[in-house]
Structure 1
Amino acid sequence: MTKQNFLQGTIILIIAGMITRFLGFINRIVVARLMGEEGIGLYNMALPTLFLMYTISQIGLPIAIAKRVAEADAKNDQAKIKQILIISLSITISLSILSSVLMFLLIPYISNYLLTDERVFYPMMAIIPIIPISAVGSVIRGYFQGRQNMKPQSYAQVLEQIVRIGFVLVLVTWLVPYGVEFAASGAMIAVIIGEAVSLLFMLKMFQIKKRIKLRKNIYQYMKTGKETLQQLFSIAIPSTASRMVNSIANFLEPILVAQSLALAGFQATIATKQYGALTGYALPLLFLPTFITHSLAVALVPNISEAEAKQHSKLIHYRIHQAIRLSFASGAIATVLLTLFADAILQYMYGTNNASLFLKIMAPCFLFMYIQFPLNASLQALDLAKQAMWNNIASTVIKFIILISLATNPQIGIYGAAIAMCVGVIVGTIFHLITLFRAIRFYIPVKMIVKMIALIGLTFWMGELLIHIFSFQPSDMYSFLIILVLLLVGYLVFLFGLQFISKDELQQLRKK
């Protein structure tokens, strides 16, 4: 089986993530133009409930599988790996069935009373079949990650998006005349089909590349798997608690936004449209660089786990510094572009600039989000998931307090939710840094902080200069493309000049 080093695995995931995000944006543009803000609002109101069911059915096993498989693989213990897979699949399949039944029973109440828009019922019901599909897929992904082979899941992600776009075009176009709730349901069904194709592909790759036969002596492996179960749960349960906090927060967020805006005097349809603009237009752009930071986080877990097992503390610090540096580098350019060209980007992509103020408010704050991903992965790899959970709880409580306080004010409204999200991101990242310092004395050197400020300052200055030179107007796409190319070239010069990317890292990419 092909195994990649940290940077090679990261690059494979980044390339796949880049393609996936590009295809995902095509999908979002298609959906946005076909369904409008109201349809997107219904779609995004249904998603948090799905993510909550994901968390319940997977109980944090993907990270636990990746860590334990990496440890067993280092010892060439194939029996242990087989036991990990059998136990993990048994747990996730059972929980996914229970989650599907629970979701089926709760959807009528959630859609009618909590989300204040009964039309959410249809897209929520449509996504139930995806729960067991995703649960099995998460186990297979964790296995490949533990083997440090990032190619199968990368190919599967791209294939999933291609299939999804094709079915979105067909299903949403077909169902739009029947109402936005049915169009949103069609978009959800397209997600299910994409996930199913992705799972079938990974299962085929597993069959081709596997060194073990799962169907032999299943009962015996489960009967003697108490120790393996405890080892998985020692990581999975704290990790699940942390994910549950995020999933419950995502589940409650649209409810709190809807209820807060209702208290402020906004009608349900207006609140749905505003939430659709925030979550359907602004947040996808803000989360665009996270395909890089998520790739770094995925590759970081087995690498830090291996370094910890060998007691290489310097390597642990180096890997975390490296991940933060590269994450910030990927996010800084996005921050500048979204701040300076918010109106233009939204108009080009969605045909509206209704969410431009959201971007201008939130983009600088989301720099903290970009470095939060590798920080969280580092905590998981160092068995500090419990501390990460409390960090998430604290930042979420603070976010919700601010959200309710501001969004219930008619003069602030939906922008209170945007401000609350910013505060939650900043506080959560700071808490993670404090935890790492207390645990392993990790900190970001002053020199690196100065470089970060210099990088974003120089890029912002260059962007402003180019806007002035070209007398840029949001409607002028030709000038925007020229400015974009020049700004990216200048940004690369700043990156290498400030040594955000070193020659040693480039050499590592060539190693076999």
Structure 2
Amino acid sequence: MKPTFWTNASLLLIAALLGECMEFLINMVLARELGETGLGLYMSILPAIMFLVVIASLELPISISKAVAEKDAVYHRSMLQHAVYFTSGFTIACLAAGLLVFPLIPVFHQYHSALPWLLLLLIPIISFSSIARGYFMGVQHMGKIAVANFLRRAVQLVLLITVFHFFHFDAEIAILLSLSTLIGTELVVFLYLAYGFIRTMKRLKQSPGEAMEKKSVLHLLLSVSLPTTGLRVFHAASFAMKPFLIKAALMQAGVGEELAVIQYGKLAGVAFTIGFFPAFIAHSLLIILIPTVSEAYAKKEIKRLEMLLSRIFFFTLLYALPAVYLFSFFSDELTSLFFEESPAAVYLQLLTPYFFFHFFVIPMQAFLIGLGLVKDAFYHSVWSTTVSFVLMYVLGSMPQLQMDGIIIGMNTGIVMLAMMHFMTIRYRLREPVGYRLQEI
């Protein structure tokens, strides 16, 4: 019997909760071992690594899961073989591009010379993990996805504690080893997923199957992967730019470079870590919502979609309101887990609107993808990010505002994005039935 929406969601939520608890501990370890400046450098390079992950994955988990769910099991083996061949070629191209581009990136010059080589190792790990992850999502084996998500944090926490408990390093080596634990963690996840995937392929080989044309498989995958990757690339690129924009604005306001790095480290490493903690619920819902909304919209079950949207909003309120209450009134106690008497307490309070609306934006993005409105989601992100970045730089450059001005810009951008997402979803669901049928 196929698991229900809420059964799968509950399974992913439990794994995500455990993972987020460990992420919290990971950042506490990093804050204490790397220090203020080291944490700032670590957090500054993370967006660039996330950008690389988005490129390497090509959003194959989403496209493969959608294709597997739509096609009969007899086509799965052929489809997965074509996916492996395509991913192999894509990975080789990414590695070649990385060898040419990485030495030219000035940001890497602030870190150990071995960092670019570690990032090259990450490319094939992410690319091939995406195939297995997409297949297990498509056949609703959410248990494997939940275990993989749990391993990602558990292994990194164990590695960090082990390394820093038995050894002591200078700042540059400590940052490199901290980043190395990310690659080590992804390798463990890859090995776990690859083991299950190879066993599945052997089982499919023993079952009756039918071949699919390479061109049709690539079209099936890329028709979903490319627009979704475009959206993720924009998010990752803007996220990667944010640390440098913030530091530039603070320095324009008269803050020294080292102090600007420290302030950003506390913003990203402390305030963001605490504020984004409840977002694991939204991200778990996103994984389930995309195929659910796609299926319901294909069948034109508009009432079901409206009811699902209302329930998701109500469910989000149940955890968003208590979360922002804690951020507002217990910010000192929460941020003191990282640094004593930290300005991150004020950052956390000022960012409560940002986190509140962020919890709603994630499931609404899943609705937009499921409704075939990836381009709309992309345009919304472009407009809101542009407005946000302009305000962040202009207000953050003012000596009287500094980080307060940057946070005002962030809050404005997320509110704008949430409103555009909501209005577009409501408009699509309320379109005349005849118009929707003509689209099909």
Compare 329-338 and 167-176 and name the one that shifted more: 167-176
Whichever residue aligns with residue 356 of structure 2, its letter is L
3-state DSSP class of the match of 1:364?
Answer: helix
Match of 2:174 in 1: 183
Q: 2:96 & 2:395 partners in 1: Cα distance?
A: 37
**CA distance in 1: counterparts of 2:93 and 2:416, whole angstroms:** 35
1:66 offset after TM fit, Å? 1.9
Deviates more, 1:79-88 or 1:11-20: 79-88
Q: Which residue of 2 aligns with 1:196?
A: 187
The equivalent residue for 2:434 is none
For residues 35-434 of structure 1, what are the structure 2 equivalents within 5 Å?
35-72=34-71, 77-112=72-107, 118-119=110-111, 123=115, 125-172=117-164, 176-178=168-170, 180-208=171-199, 213=204, 224-434=213-423
Deviation, 1:208, is 4.5
RMSD (Å) for aligned C-alpha atoms: 2.6
Query: CA 1:300–1:26 in 2, change beyond 3 Å: closer, same or farther?
Result: same
- For structure 2, the residue ranges without an aligned partner over 5 or more in a row are 432-440
1:28 to 2:27 alignment: yes
Change (3 A) 1:91 1:57: farther
Aligned mates of 1:214, 1:48 — CA distance in 2:
40
CA distance in 2: counterparts of 1:91 and 1:339, whole angstroms? 49
Deviation at 1:341, TM superposition (A): 0.2
Structure 1 residues 42 and 124, CA gap change in structure 2 (3 angstroms): farther
Q: Is 1:10–1:299's contact at 8 Å kept on the other side of the alignment?
A: yes
Which letter does structure 1 place at the counterpart of 2:406? Answer: A
Residue 366 to residue 214, structure 1, CA distance change in 2 (3 Å): farther
Aligned residue type for 2:157: I
Q: Distance in 1 between matches of 2:242 and 2:256?
A: 18
**CA-to-aligned-CA distance 1:102-128 (integer Å, 9 cap, x gap):** 34544454345xx8x723766555433
Alignment gaps of 5+ in structure 1: 443-512
C-alpha separation between the residues in 2 aligned to 1:102 and 1:94? 12
Measure how far apart 1:212 and its partner are.
5.1
2:438 maps to none
Residue 5 of structure 1, CA deviation:
0.9
Deviations 1:266-313 (A, max 9, x none): 222111101100000000111111111111111111212222233322
Q: Does the residue aligned with 1:128 lie in a helix, a strand or coil? A: helix
Following superposition, the deviation at residue 328 of structure 1 comes to 2.4
Aligned counterpart for 1:439 among listed residues 402, 424, 428: 428
Aligned AA (1:376): Q
Q: Which moved more, 1:51-60 or 1:23-32?
A: 51-60
Equivalent residues of 1:172, 1:184 under 8 A apart: no
Cα distance in 1 for residues equivalent to 2:429 and 2:362: 18
Structure 1 residue 216, shift from structure 2 partner: 11
Equivalent residues of 1:57, 1:93 under 8 A apart: no
Deviates more, 1:163-172 or 1:338-347: 163-172
Give the Cα separation in 1 of the matches to 2:206 and 2:245: 47
Compared with structure 1, are the counterparts of its residues 19 and 301 closer, same or farther at alpha carbon in structure 2 (3 Å cutoff)? Answer: same
Secondary structure of the structure 2 residue equivalent to 1:315 = helix
Q: Matches of 1:256 and 1:124 in 2, distance apart?
A: 23
Deviation for aligned residue 1:211: 7.8
- Cα distance in 1 for residues equivalent to 2:226 and 2:216: 15
Deviation at 1:225, TM superposition (A): 2.2
Partner in structure 2 of residue 456 of structure 1: none
- Distance in 2 between residues matched to 1:417 and 1:175, nearest whole Å: 38
Deviation digits for residues 9-58 of structure 1 (CA, Å, limit 9, x no counterpart): 00000000001111111111111111112111111111111121222222
Counterpart residue identity of residue 187, structure 1: S
Distance in 2 (alpha carbons) for counterparts of 1:215 and 1:246:
42
The residue type equivalent to 1:98 in the other structure is A
Distance change in 2, residues 1:108/1:355 (3 Å): farther
Q: In 2, distance between residues paired with 1:241 and 1:413?
A: 32
For the 8 Å contact 1:176–1:182, the answer to whether it is kept is no
TM-score (norm 1): 0.78
Cα pair 1:58 1:92 within 8 Å, conserved: no
Shift of residue 197, structure 1, vs aligned partner: 1.0
User: Once the two structures are aligned, what percentage of the paired residues are identical?
Assistant: 27
**How far off is 1:417 after superposition?**
2.5
Kept after mapping to 2: 8 A contact 1:4/1:149: no
Q: 1:89 to 1:257 in 2, by over 3 A?
A: farther
CA distance in 1, matches of 2:358, 2:156: 27
Say yes or no: does 1:7 pair with 2:22. no
Q: Residues 99 and 131 of structure 1 are in contact (CA less than 8 Å); yes or no, is this contact kept in structure 2?
A: yes
CA drift of 1:370 comes to 0.3
What one-letter code is carried by the residue in structure 2 that aligns with 1:152? Answer: K
Give the TM-score of the pair, scaled to structure 2: 0.90
Counterpart-to-counterpart distance in 2, 1:385 and 1:212: 35
Deviations 1:468-496 (A, max 9, x none): xxxxxxxxxxxxxxxxxxxxxxxxxxxxx
Residue 268 to residue 90, structure 1, CA distance change in 2 (3 Å) = farther
Residues 92 and 256 (structure 1), Cα distance of their counterparts in 2 relative to 1, 3 Å cut: farther
Contact 1:344 / 1:353 at 8 angstroms: preserved in 2? no
Matched positions, count: 431
Structure 1 SS opposite 2:387 = helix
